[in-house]
Amino acid sequence: MNDLKTVRENVTFVRQTTPSGVLLVAAAKTRTADEVNAAVDAGIKAIGYNYIQEAERMRPVVSDKVSWHMIGHLQRNKAKKAVQLFDMIETIDSVGLALEVNKQCLVARKKMPVLIEINSGRESNKTGVTPENAEQLIREISALSNLLVQGLMTMGPRLGDPEDARPYFQLTKKVFDQIAKLKIPRVEMRYLSMGMSNSYRIAIEEGATIIRIGSFLFGERN
């Protein structure tokens, strides 16, 4: 387990060195409840989980004063649980998944803010809609009454030279601006979620308004 004081200091550092309009999501996979709660103590307002099972396990022991973001690939058969657990789903990338989440939202009487995941790396990313198909997907999802499209998310490369991530972020920002200009009813281009520990500064330079950071806050994962 990492030193909780260090976690708090890391959170404070990132908060103090990023613009106030940027939402810092703590990517919490594999971390203990104590580590995540230390991050919340230091001012984290949103946490991200990649797996339903882990989120379910952590839900009772991690603060519910923060908003919970689904940041991993979501399987359709987990949509019901996802709707119960999360306040935002950042990884919608197909009509089929959107339909299932919408259906579960109807059952749960919940409106779910969602981001559309863009496959900005094409062959190197396995998930997300291609930039070319984003508009069509968003138009279709905009008709689903219990989903609120609020922006885009992309992964980009996690390792390597942070500068290598810049073109992926630029491409996603370009799609973001194009979609915003279309003024599709019920679609808001408000959040652009991109950038991880090694690349978040570059992501902010390229227009990110959500950054998702794990190892820089909590230490390297085992």
Ligand X SMILES: *Cc1c(COP(=O)(O)O)cnc(C)c1O
Residues near ligand X, by CB under 6 A: 27, 29, 50, 71-72, 155, 158, 196-197, 212-216
Output b/e per residue, 22-41; b: 16+ Cβ within 10 A: bbbbbbbbebbeebbbbbbe
Q: Which residue number, 158 or 186, has a Cβ lying nearer to ligand X? A: 158
CB of 65 to ligand X, least distance (A): 21
Q: Find the radius of gyration of the CA atoms of the chain.
A: 17
CB of 93 to ligand X, least distance (A): 12
Nearest residue to 25 (alpha-carbon basis) of 179, 220, 165, 209? 209
Q: Which two tokens stand for residue 125?
A: 């990313």
CB of 128 to ligand X, least distance (A): 11
Element (H, E) at 100: helix 95-108
Q: Which residue number, 38 or 213, has a Cβ lying nearer to ligand X? A: 213
CB of 212 to ligand X, least distance (A): 4
State the DSSP string of 147-213. Answer: EEEEEEEE---SSS-GGGGHHHHHHHHHHHHHHHHHT-TT----EEE---TTTHHHHHHTT-SEEEE
Nearest residue to ligand X, scored by beta-carbon proximity? 214
Q: Which residue number, 144 or 175, has a Cβ lying nearer to ligand X? A: 175
CB of 106 to ligand X, least distance (A): 27
State the DSSP string of 57-76. Answer: HHTTTS-SSSEEEE-S---G
Q: Which residue number, 48 or 131, has a Cβ lying nearer to ligand X? A: 48
Cβ pair 7, 200 in contact under 8 A = no
Q: Which residue number, 146 or 168, has a Cβ lying nearer to ligand X? A: 168
Q: Which residue number, 134 or 153, has a Cβ lying nearer to ligand X? A: 153
- Report the number of secondary-structure helices (H) and strands (E) in the chain: 9, 8
CB of 179 to ligand X, least distance (A): 21
